[in-house]
Amino acid sequence: MVDGDWFEVRRFPHDVTLIREPHHGEDVKVYLIEGNRDVAILDTGTGTGDFPALVASLSDRRPRVLQTHAHWDHIGASHRFDDVLVHPAEAEGLRRGTPPERYIAAFSPEAVDSGRLPAGFDPSGGLPGREPTGWLEAGDRVDLGGRVLEVIHTPGHSPGGVSFLDRQARALFVGDLLYLGQMYLFFPNSDPAAFRDALARVAALADAIDTVYPAHGPTPLTFADLLAIRGAFEEVWAGRTPDREGALLGFDVAIHDFGRFSFLLPRGD
C-alpha cells in the first residue's frame, strides 16, 4: 500500500472507497466513487504522501477530482491531477493554493502525529494552486459512465460548498456541510443563513438517501443523523443561548454544543 502508515483505506458498498488521513487532527476523509469509465475523487486531502499513486492503486478508471470546496485540507493533491472541477465561488481558493506559513502551521506538533508523516514530507513550500478545468453548479450531473452524481449547492461553511447525490447508492456525500464534530460557521465567508437553507435542501431528499458520507468525523452517517443536525440548528436559529464562548483560529466564536456535534458561529450572531 502506498504510504500505508499515513493513509487508511476502507471499502464500502456500491464501489465507494474511503481514503482517510487519521494521523492529522483534521482526520480528513476522501471518497472514490467508481463508474464504468471514470472514478470520482471527492477532494484530495492534505497533500501529504503520494495520494495520486494511492488512487491509481485503488482504481484503474480515469480520475476526475470533484472538489466539495477549496479549503486547504481538501485540495492538497489537486494540482497533481489533470481534471479538477469546483464551484465557481471556490475557484480563487483553488487557484491560490496554500502559502508556506499556513501550510507549516497546519503540521505543527499539536496538529499532527509527526512520527507517522511519510519520509521526506516538507511543508515549507506550501501547496501549489490549481486552475479548475471545469465547474460544479447546482443541478449539474457528473456522468462517470453508468453512474451519475447530482450536484447540490450546499454553502454555509464556505460559499461554494457542494454535495453529491448518488441515487444509485442512495448516498449523499456532503463534504464539510455537516458531520459529527465541530462545524465551523465563523469564517469571514461563512454564512449561517445559507447553512440553514442548505440543511433544509438536503433534508428534503429523504426519499433518495439512506447513507451520508461526511469529510470529517465518524463515517458513514445515517439520514437520521442529518435530520438531528438540522433540527439542532433550527434551535440555534430560533435564539438558543450559546453554551460557551471562546477563541479559535484567531476568531471569537459562540459555541452551541449538542453532545455528538456542535456549531461554532461568530460571537454575537
* CA neighbor of 263 nearest in space, from 180, 154, 153, 158: 180
Residues facing 265 on adjacent strands: 254
Percent of the chain with pLDDT over 90: 97
Position 227 scores a pLDDT of 98
pLDDT tens for each residue of 72-87: 999 999 999 999 999 9
The model carries a pTM of 0.97
Average pLDDT over residues 169-177: 98
Read off the pLDDT of residues 21-57 as tens digits, 9 standing for 90 and up. 999 999 999 999 999 999 999 999 999 999 999 999 9
Q: Pick from 16, 80, 87, 96: which is nearest to 45 by CA?
A: 80
pLDDT at 269 over 80: no
Residue 164 has pLDDT above 80, yes or no: yes
pLDDT at position 172 over 70: yes
CB 160 within 8 A of CB 71: no
Assign 5 a pLDDT band (cuts: 50, 70, 90): confident
Name the pairing type of β-strands 182-184 and 262-266: parallel
Residue-wise pLDDT for 191-243, tens only, equals: 999 999 999 999 999 999 999 999 999 999 999 999 999 999 999 999 999 99
Cα–Cα distance, 201 to 109 (Å, whole number): 39
pLDDT tens profile 88-101: 999 999 999 999 99
Mean pLDDT value across the chain: 97
Residue range 114-153, pLDDT digits in tens: 999 999 999 999 999 999 999 999 999 999 999 999 999 9
pLDDT band at 1 (very low <50, low <70, confident <90, very high): very low
115 vs 108: CA distance, rounded Å:
12
d(C-alpha 251, C-alpha 243), whole Å: 17
Region 8-266: CATH code:
3.60.15.10
